[in-house]
Amino acid sequence: MLKDTVRKYYDEEYNLNCAETMIYGANEEYNMQLDKKTLKTMAAFGGGMGIESTCGVISGSLAVLGILFTKVRAHESEKIKELSQEFFEKFEEKLGTSECAILKEKYRNDEIRCIIMVDTAAEILEGIVEREMKAEG
């Protein structure tokens, strides 16, 4: 399950931020074969892009969707826009917002950190990816 793999990367052993956690977990779970340089692209998106804006788990998850389901360019595929909107809607429906600062205030503490957001994103992402991969055959 993606949630278990993502949790592994969120552990203190790897010490990745929320956005990195999502792409590292998906890379392993879906055999995306991303190189280290590509994985590092998510570093700046943790902590709501460093300014507590859009939650990093969302940024990481949307990067995964983009890599998996964009043919060549986003402009040539309505699908990625639809999948991104679906992810946002489901995330906000479950947790009430997509803003890092508000999410941290509501759900984060020193013991569990942002695991609620990580788990929620992993569940949503896994549902979308599995459905889309099945549809693609």
Condensed to tens digits (0 to 9), the pLDDT of residues 35-87 reads 999 999 999 999 999 999 999 999 999 999 999 999 888 888 889 999 999 99
CA dihedral 71, 74, 76, 81 (to 10 degrees): 110
Using a pLDDT cut of 70, give the percent of the chain over it. 100
Q: What is the pLDDT of residue 133?
A: 96
d(CA 5, CA 21): 9
Q: How many domains does the chain have?
A: 1
Banded model confidence at residue 111, pLDDT cuts 50, 70, 90: very high
Taking the alpha carbons of 37, 38, 41, 46 in that order, is the dihedral positive or negative? negative
Residue 101 has phi, psi (to 5 degrees) of: -60, -45
Q: What is the pLDDT of residue 79?
A: 93
- Give Cα separations from 123 to 6, 37, 90, 95 (angstroms): 10, 26, 10, 13
Using a pLDDT cut of 90, give the percent of the chain over it. 92
Global pTM exceeds 0.85: yes
Give me the count of residues in the chain.
Answer: 137
Domain range spanning residue 18? 2-136
Q: What is the pLDDT of residue 137?
A: 80
